[in-house]
Amino acid sequence: MKIFLDSADINEIKELCKTNLIDGITTNPSLIAKSGGNILDVIKEICGLVSGPVSAEVTAIDHKTMMMEAEKLLNLAENVTIKVPLTSDGLLTCKELSKNNVSVNVTLCFSASQAILAAKAGATFVSPFVGRLDDIGQNGLDLIYDIVEIYNNYNYKTQVLVASIRGVNHVIESAKIGADVVTIPTKTFKEMFNHPLTDKGLNAFLSDWQD
């Protein structure tokens, strides 16, 4: 399973890429706004920090303007993945870009029917948002089961990129289900390293070694 970082914070990305465990980055308009930078500058800088795909989201809602924004983003670097919302215009854009071998991430997926359409539009990645489904009292991971099963049934090539992850459990369950990618916030990535018995064991080894 690939691990992407869900962040537009340059310092955070620099720090965590040093682990050599990060396979790509996802951003969204809210994360870019939080970074305080201009989208083109921020995406360009991030693309220079990782060799894997960097998802950059269009902000237009109509197909024509989405295509124009995509073109600008694609000019920034070779590892840009265009992120489009799961709307009719977003999927039109996805289909057109995919036809030209552009990597596309279809985002804001909240149902299996939407995921079927994303696969049919040729998406490289589909991003189901588990945390936001949990937030409204549904079980977000159920959606991941459904999409993985459906994609396997038809051998769809679209990769399931689990997004809106709230903690390590979402990562573990996504891996058990067989999702292709998880995109996680810095905090969750750091938590993945931790176990109290690792700390306790290490302290014991170090103190035995000193005796």
| Residue choice 131, 134, 150, 190 for contact with ligand E4P (CB under 6 A) | 131
Exposure pattern of 68-83 as b/e (b: 16+ CB <10 Å)? Answer: ebbeebbebeebbbbb
Does residue number 125 form part of the binding site for ligand E4P (CB under 6 A)? no
Q: Burial of 95 by CB count in 10 Å (0-12 exposed, 13-18 middle, 19+ buried)?
A: middle
Q: Is 125:161 a contact under the CB 8 Å cutoff?
A: yes
Exposure pattern of 16-46 as b/e (b: 16+ CB <10 Å)? Answer: bbeeeebbbbbbbeebbeebebebeebbbbb
Does residue number 2 form part of the binding site for ligand E4P (CB under 6 A)? no
| Residue choice 9, 13, 26, 53 for contact with ligand E4P (CB under 6 A) | 26
* Size, binding site for ligand E4P by CB under 6 A: 11
Instruction: Count other Cβ atoms within 10 Å, centred on residue 59.
Output: 12
Q: Is 186:154 a contact under the CB 8 Å cutoff?
A: no
120 among known catalytic residues = no
Torsion angle (degrees, nearest 10) of CA 158, 190, 51, 7? 70
| Residue choice 76, 163, 177, 179 for contact with ligand E4P (CB under 6 A) | 163
| Residue choice 2, 72, 132, 190 for contact with ligand E4P (CB under 6 A) | 132
Does residue number 22 form part of the binding site for ligand E4P (CB under 6 A)? no
Site for ligand E4P in 45-104 (CB under 6 A): none
Task: For ligand E4P, give the closer residue by CB, 142 or 199.
Answer: 142
Query: Three-state SS for 125?
Result: strand
Task: For ligand E4P, give the closer residue by CB, 172 or 202.
Answer: 172
Does residue number 28 form part of the binding site for ligand E4P (CB under 6 A)? yes
Does residue number 167 form part of the binding site for ligand E4P (CB under 6 A)? no
Task: For ligand E4P, give the closer residue by CB, 15 or 135.
Answer: 135
Six-digit token string for 37: 């930078």
The residue ranges that bind ligand E4P (CB under 6 A) are: 6, 26, 28, 107, 127, 129, 131-132, 163-164, 183
Active-site residues, by number, are 83
